[in-house]
A and B are shown apart, each in its own frame.
Chain A
Amino acid sequence: MPSTHDWIDSPLVVIEDMFAASQNSPNSGWEAKAVEFFKERLKEKDAHTWVPSLNDVPLHYLKPNSLVKFRCLIQDMFDPEFYMGVYETVDSSTKAKTLRCGKYKDVTECGVDFSSTNTVTAERQTFYCVPIPGENSWVKDSFAASSQARVIPSTSYVPSRQKRSYEEDEEMDDMDAQPQKQREPQSAGPQSPSEHLGNNDSKRLETEAPSGSTVSSSHINLNFPLPGEKGPSCLVKVYENWDCFKLNDTLEVYGILSVSPALSALADEKEASSGVLDPTESMETAEEQRVHSPPASLVPRLHMLYAAPLQHNNPLLPVISSADDSAFLSSSLGEMASVRAELLSYFTHVLLGDALSAEYLILHLISTVYSRRDVLPLGKFTLNLSGCPTVSSYTERLYQIIQQLVPSSYYLGMSLQNMNHMQLVPKKDYVANRLVSGALQLAKNTSLFLDETKLEQGQLDTTGVRNVTALGNLISWQKVDYDFSYHQMEFPCNINVLIVSEARSLLPSDCQVHVHSQVVPSDMEEYLGSIHIHSQAFSQLNKLRIYLSVARLLDYSISEELTKAVEDDFVDMRKDDPQSISAEDLHRLLVVARLLSLSLGQTSLSRDMWLRAKDLEAQRTSRMEQHTCVNGNEP
């Protein structure tokens, strides 16, 4: 076992060996071999769990230049940079020349011979990555718990104790004592909100920054899409195939951690000699400097060896990378119907005894944009739950329940304050040369919970109108137009939007369900009080989580025969009453049928399912009509 850890603790040694070996045989393609080596190693059983993750291990426990992994979202892409791929060093005493490899490193060794003809300039790309926005605490805890990495506090780390208060010191000692399993107490009960940990994290960030450099952390905005996010962000250096990565992709990056203080010393130096008009330095403004070379203690550099795109970020599921994992999916098909029944009764309870709304909520939670036809996203299913009670923060409770079930989610109360002041759409800041993130820069399959019961009277200003338009675009086209000041750029997205409102939402939606409360208003308070997040047993909860993620990953098809049947059905319906069903209704019906089949673990449409879908829709529309009648009498 210890030997296997060499490639985790000091991957650069492995790479340098390969590089040295390649010098005798040119064109050996050592670079590809090196990447292959790490890929092979990681394929071994559980090997990836030995690699410490930046997501759950504090940075100062990680050894510099060791292999780490990072579960992240590409928030911004910086310009490509040229670096010395191969360079020659001259020993100052012996004058002996050695060839060195500059790949996967930020800083060269001493005594570089710049005039050497052996220098090879190569290109690499930098991505600014942040932890997956809106990732729920149960996901984080569960990932942390499954990690088997042996983390030993790095020897180079000397806590600057004099700066900490006594109280914090104790906490730190606490953690120092058992660093490798520091999260265990919390992870045992994922229900407990990670308040305590969150606090710790923020303190670490604040206290560490001064120890790393003189630039205070308050100057550095880590540019998280959602307010109040915690965690490290990272500059990931990509060496090959950077074209295949896209903005907002979620990845698990395996790479070599680089926290060389020399990187942040740059900013230090800058301060001291700001008077110098060096042509190379005047290229960047101070802001740009700050953004593109933040202190490494705050934003570590990660030299990517290998990155696996994440299909999902549910820790309870194996990483789905290729076809061989479909075995897992098919194995879980049998159980799905029973889990669904459980989930349905749970949601019915939560939605005040309304089974129909519960059905639709399940369909919504497993929906995903599976394809696009020119501009039309297929498979999206934005749900508008109208008629939600406004008492005792019902909507917040509902969100908390969803939060417990889906891997990542975000609650956006549509208050006037929020709409007028929040930045939803990412915007390019040309001064700092970066994309300033907005709340709509979300990873795929994130649940966005829009709470319209928070609406209040008042006027939307320009920002507000723009934000509402952006939300409308997101729902209708599943795209966000990023603001590049001189032009807009369209980024497709895949976000599940759930709108809860009292009456029909002001935003468009694919489907509106009016919640029929079976609960007498007088009992409401008490009833709501009984909806506990803890009402489900832990293992039960995990089952539901797996269910929701699996249903989304399933493939789906429809047979020739049923295509025909659906067509006939449509024609018949139109014959009886042309007003009864429009093309749009058929669109929706097809989506509902798809989701309904998948929710029951059936990967192709059956006649039975089609009828059930029609039945559901009929129930829903009849309720809508009733509701509009009721509304008509009201002023």
Chain B
Amino acid sequence: MSLNRHVFILNVHLINICDNEPCLQTVQPNEVDMSSPLMYGTPSSRIEGTPRSGVRGTPARQRPDLGSVRKAPQVDLQSEPSAADGGAASEANAGQRLVIWGTDVNVGICKEKFQRFLQRFIDPTSNEDENSGLDLNEPLYMQKLEEISVVGDPVLNVNCLHVQSFDAELYRQLISYPQEVIPTFDMAVNELFFERFPDSILEFQIQVRPYNALKTRNMRSLNPEDIDQLITISGMVIRTSQLIPEMQEAFFQCQVCAYSTRVEVDRGRIAEPAVCRNCNTTHGLTLVHNRSVFSDKQMIKVQESPEDMPAGQTPHTTVVYAHNDLVDKVQPGDRVNITGVYRAVPMRVNPRQSNVKAVYKTHIDAIHFRKTDEKRLHGVNEEAEQKLFTEDRVQTLKELAGKPDVYERLSSALAPSIYEHEDIKKGILLQLFGGTRKDFSQTGRGHFRADVNILLCGDPGTSKSQLLQYVYNLVPRGQYTSGKGSSAVGLTAYVMKDPETRQVVLQTGALVLSDNGICCIDEFDKMSDNTRSVLHEVMEQQTLSIAKAGIICQLNARTAVLAAANPVESQWNPKKTTIENIQLPHTLLSRFDLIFLMLDPQDEAYDRRLAHHLVSLYYQSEEQMEEEFLDMAVLRDYIAYARTYISPRLSEEASQTLIEAYVDMRKIGSGRGMVSAYPRQLESLIRLAEAHAKVRFSEKVENIDVEEAKRLHREALKQSATDPRTGFVDISILTTGMSLTARKRKEEVAQALKKMIQAKGKTPAMKYQQLLDDLRGQSETAITKELFDEALRALADEDYLTVTGKTVRLLA
């Protein structure tokens, strides 16, 4: 049997090289060109007839993804047990020891094992979204089979990790011989299925799609050993081809006697029957295209994801073929995990010569796609991609977390080239960790923001941009934009025509791209008002609503904003408030949890330390620096680990402290007749305390966390919300844009003006300029035109007077 197949293959090969008409020519069994390279794949890519399931009634569907062909010889399992598989070696006669040629797979045992797996596998800790709604204490895959019988979608996705934990030997076979093992699985699952649900009708027999093979994770690590094995790689789709119809079965008709015959495709080639079996006419058969059977195929180019790449190299790409219903499952730009069989085919130079360009073309036949960024659109709270940590790494991280000064250590490891600004670094560190996500959608409040927003403002040249650059380089999903160069659409999303597909697609901007990350915005003050206004929604609700070009949607933008702004007068004016200095709307400012001033502290000790820092920066050797600071990679892993696995909750004690702190903050102000804290500040405190607990890898927010949050919050307030006129911290500067003293002053001027007008007696109309001059003459303090206008407006609001052009009229 195997010999026959051999000859057959060679014949088909001949066909192709002799003729440009695709695939069709007479087979002349004697003209076997032994030297021809064409039909041999890599050594192990053999053709195996797929085991035929014993289930009748439901048609089997070809699996082009496995390169296997359900070929004509119908092997009946019952009547011919020894030849259960097309490739089974016949020399082994003891039925139980039969293995598929070239492998150590025994069909019977393999089938049995897999059925046992399906019937017994339970994973109570499973948290995959595929398994939502299933009873985790019941056999998982039996429930899935039940689902298939209800839904009628004959695809069974099997997590390879489950197979591995159930039976390591079976897993090894699956990885090493997917071409043989998967059809066996198919067979097993169909038997089981139709035994259980004898009445169900499926479109075709169930196909098993394994995923999550641990063999390979990274495209870069693919090597010749992986050929013909089951692998899983992650990457980004960059191109998809059009649909390629691939002939699966050709229909031939004899031109003489109209006798028809069907020939199945064998590895992309079809052997045209030379002689009509009915009338013995030679070369009388023609292909009838529209009665032939085609299957869908699509070429997909996948590129390594940027995170997997070593620095300084370009990303690799791999070709993937999708078949049948996997066609058009993915779009360019999708991040996917692909499970499939890695293949290699030798390239040829010239079919007429037998020289071969000694290179294999490689591709992957996809069996399973899993989009990794799918969940981001649905707003599931988990991190989309779970970073895998090795045991060792986790151990190191935990060790680090156990140190009492971990917070200080981490904050000093942050941007070591930037000197001092300890509190700012601590603030940014807490931002990197973020608070705990809470969901109050049940009670109508929706999601609570867990991300900490930070604004840095200060003199130019105080390395604000450098800090931003550092953060952007540190976090995996960071975006860096400059307020000067970005527009509202650049930050949110815009609609464009895809040059490839000609479809209208939504291109997401920086804020959406940094979902679950940090969006660094430099030159925040130079942003146009229009652009800034989109930030209102993002910074509190953490969504982006879009309504353009017929696309109306709400995208998640759970991003922390780290912004830097320069003062309007290019130098920070200590006599003015923050708002006056940076000219940003207070509505936006109040959305920042922490606002830091980066000013040049002018004191000698600081200068000395700064100078020492800078000089050593320039002249220390690389190794010395390494010793002093934590590695950036460790820091990155530490943050990723904490973000993924730690979600601290407030302890009773801590919440008491928080309440006290908040009440205290309100009290400070009430003594002077002003409000010094709003609920927003309380939320900020909670977030900061949670982040601090995360830094310690603690599942509980404790008092020390709250204390640090309070301290940091106070520090930031002290810097940014101090009223330069009184020297007090006044939160209303940030929340209403005007300090209390300024408001008082306004009222005083209005009253003075009113008194003056009343003193003038019966003059229904006055000149604007004269009034201003009079008031200036009366008042001891300087009265600016703005102040005067404000006073007039206040009086107009009281319906005391109106201003028309240059005259002021009294009402009543």
Q: Measured between alpha carbons, how far is A152 from B57 in the docked complex, in Å?
A: 75
Interface string of A74-97 (1 = CB under 8 A from B): 001101111110010010100000
B358 with A247: CB separation less than 8 A: no
A282 with B356: CB separation less than 8 A: no
Interface string of A246-280 (1 = CB under 8 A from B): 11100000000000001101100100110111111
Residues of A within 8 A of B139 (CB): none
Within 8 A of B (CB), among A556-575: 556-558, 563, 566-567, 570-571, 574-575
Interface assignment of B346: CB less than 8 Å from any CB of chain A:
yes
Q: Measured between alpha carbons, how far is A617 from B608 in the docked complex, in Å?
A: 21
Partner of B604, one of A106, A112, A121, A571: A571
- With both beta carbons as reference points, the residue of chain A lying nearest to B353 in the complex is identified as A262
Shortest Cβ distance from B188 into chain A, in angstroms? 30
B625 with A373: CB separation less than 8 A: yes
Within 8 A of A (CB), among B262-290: 268
Contacts A108-B358, A282-B299, A374-B415 given; does A114 touch B37 at CB 8 Å:
yes
Interface assignment of B390: CB less than 8 Å from any CB of chain A:
no
B354 with A114: CB separation less than 8 A: no
Partner of B312, one of A123, A247, A378, A571: A247
A77 with B313: CB separation less than 8 A: yes
Q: Measured between alpha carbons, how far is A536 from B550 in the docked complex, in Å?
A: 69
Within 8 A of B (CB), among A460-492: 465, 469, 476-477, 484-487, 489-492
Contacts A373-B416, A487-B306 given; does A567 touch B612 at CB 8 Å:
yes
B354 with A378: CB separation less than 8 A: no
- With both beta carbons as reference points, the residue of chain A lying nearest to B612 in the complex is identified as A567
Interface string of B619-645 (1 = CB under 8 A from A): 100100100000010000000000000
A81 with B360: CB separation less than 8 A: yes
Residues of A within 8 A of B416 (CB): 373-374
Q: Measured between alpha carbons, how far is A184 from B671 in the docked complex, in Å?
A: 92
Interface assignment of B194: CB less than 8 Å from any CB of chain A:
no
B301 with A590: CB separation less than 8 A: no
- With both beta carbons as reference points, the residue of chain A lying nearest to B219 in the complex is identified as A79
A566 with B356: CB separation less than 8 A: no
B314 with A76: CB separation less than 8 A: yes
Interface assignment of B615: CB less than 8 Å from any CB of chain A:
yes
Partner of B244, one of A121, A282, A484, A567: A282
- With both beta carbons as reference points, the residue of chain B lying nearest to A102 in the complex is identified as B358
Partner of B473, one of A87, A374, A563: A374
B470 with A374: CB separation less than 8 A: yes
A280 with B345: CB separation less than 8 A: yes
Residues of B within 8 A of A469 (CB): 482, 485
Interface assignment of A241: CB less than 8 Å from any CB of chain B:
no
Interface assignment of A111: CB less than 8 Å from any CB of chain B:
yes
Interface assignment of A117: CB less than 8 Å from any CB of chain B:
yes
Query: Among the listed stretches A46-54, A413-421, A523-531, A577-585, which one makes contact with chain B, having 4 or more residues with CB under 8 Å of it?
Result: A577-585
Contacts A279-B268, A282-B299, A487-B306 given; does A574 touch B604 at CB 8 Å:
yes
Shortest Cβ distance from A70 into chain B, in angstroms? 20
Interface assignment of A243: CB less than 8 Å from any CB of chain B:
yes
Q: Measured between alpha carbons, how far is A105 from B358 in the docked complex, in Å?
A: 8
Partner of A583, one of B316, B610, B616: B610
Q: Measured between alpha carbons, how far is A363 from B616 in the docked complex, in Å?
A: 21
Contacts A374-B416, A435-B314 given; does A558 touch B619 at CB 8 Å:
yes
A114 with B346: CB separation less than 8 A: yes
Q: Measured between alpha carbons, how far is A265 from B223 in the docked complex, in Å?
A: 28
Q: Measured between alpha carbons, how far is A283 from B20 in the docked complex, in Å?
A: 18
Partner of A594, one of B34, B361, B419, B618: B618
Residues of B within 8 A of A557 (CB): 619
Residues of A within 8 A of B236 (CB): 486
Residues of B within 8 A of A197 (CB): none
Interface string of B342-380 (1 = CB under 8 A from A): 001111011101111111111100000000000000000
A114 with B40: CB separation less than 8 A: yes
A486 with B333: CB separation less than 8 A: yes
Shortest Cβ distance from B267 into chain A, in angstroms? 8
Residues of B within 8 A of A422 (CB): none
Q: Measured between alpha carbons, how far is A514 from B346 in the docked complex, in Å?
A: 64
Shortest Cβ distance from A533 into chain B, in angstroms? 36
Residues of A within 8 A of B358 (CB): 83-84, 87, 102, 105-108
Partner of B310, one of A243, A272, A275, A487: A243
Within 8 A of A (CB), among B469-492: 469-470, 473, 482, 485
Interface assignment of B805: CB less than 8 Å from any CB of chain A:
no
Partner of A567, one of B347, B608, B632: B608
Interface assignment of B319: CB less than 8 Å from any CB of chain A:
yes
- With both beta carbons as reference points, the residue of chain A lying nearest to B41 in the complex is identified as A114
B22 with A246: CB separation less than 8 A: no
B618 with A590: CB separation less than 8 A: yes
Q: Measured between alpha carbons, how far is A492 from B244 in the docked complex, in Å?
A: 41
Partner of A117, one of B43, B268, B349, B462: B43
Residues of B within 8 A of A199 (CB): none
- With both beta carbons as reference points, the residue of chain B lying nearest to A248 in the complex is identified as B312
Residues of A within 8 A of B299 (CB): 282-283
Partner of A375, one of B268, B360, B470: B470
Interface assignment of A376: CB less than 8 Å from any CB of chain B:
yes
Interface assignment of A110: CB less than 8 Å from any CB of chain B:
yes
A430 with B301: CB separation less than 8 A: yes
Contacts A430-B238, A594-B618 given; does A262 touch B602 at CB 8 Å:
no
Partner of B35, one of A76, A110, A279, A571: A110
A590 with B310: CB separation less than 8 A: no
B238 with A376: CB separation less than 8 A: no
Interface assignment of A433: CB less than 8 Å from any CB of chain B:
yes
Interface assignment of A109: CB less than 8 Å from any CB of chain B:
yes
A263 with B602: CB separation less than 8 A: no
A82 with B616: CB separation less than 8 A: no
Residues of B within 8 A of A338 (CB): none
Interface string of B166-187 (1 = CB under 8 A from A): 0000000000000000000000
Interface assignment of B29: CB less than 8 Å from any CB of chain A:
no
A111 with B614: CB separation less than 8 A: no
Shortest Cβ distance from B208 into chain A, in angstroms? 24
Which of A108, A375, A574 is the most central at the interface, judged by chain B CB atoms within 10 Å of its CB?
A375
Residues of A within 8 A of B610 (CB): 570, 583, 586
A571 with B318: CB separation less than 8 A: no
B615 with A563: CB separation less than 8 A: yes
B349 with A276: CB separation less than 8 A: no
Interface assignment of B317: CB less than 8 Å from any CB of chain A:
yes
A563 with B616: CB separation less than 8 A: yes
Shortest Cβ distance from B746 into chain A, in angstroms? 35
Starting from the known contacts A110-B354, A487-B306, 15 additional A-B residue pairs (CB-CB under 8 Å) come to A76-B314, A79-B316, A82-B359, A109-B355, A111-B35, A112-B354, A117-B43, A283-B319, A374-B416, A375-B466, A430-B238, A431-B239, A558-B618, A574-B604, A586-B611
A-B CB contact pairs (8 Å), 8 listed: A107-B349, A108-B355, A112-B35, A262-B349, A262-B357, A375-B469, A490-B473, A567-B615
Q: Which 9 A-B pairs have the closest CB atoms?
A: A246-B312, A114-B40, A570-B611, A373-B417, A567-B611, A121-B224, A82-B360, A558-B619, A578-B602
Taking Cβ atoms with an 8 Å cutoff, the residues of A that contact B are 76-77, 79-84, 87, 90, 92, 102, 105-112, 114-115, 117, 119, 121-123, 243, 246-248, 262-263, 265-266, 269, 272-273, 275-280, 282-283, 371, 373-376, 378, 430-431, 433, 435, 465, 469, 476-477, 484-487, 489-492, 556-558, 563, 566-567, 570-571, 574-575, 578, 582-584, 586-587, 590-591, 594
Taking Cβ atoms with an 8 Å cutoff, the residues of B that contact A are 16, 20, 22, 34-35, 37, 40, 42-43, 222-224, 227, 236, 238-239, 244, 268, 299, 301, 303, 306, 309-319, 332-333, 344-347, 349-351, 353-363, 415-417, 419, 461-463, 465-466, 469-470, 473, 482, 485, 600, 602, 604, 607-608, 610-612, 614-619, 622, 625, 632
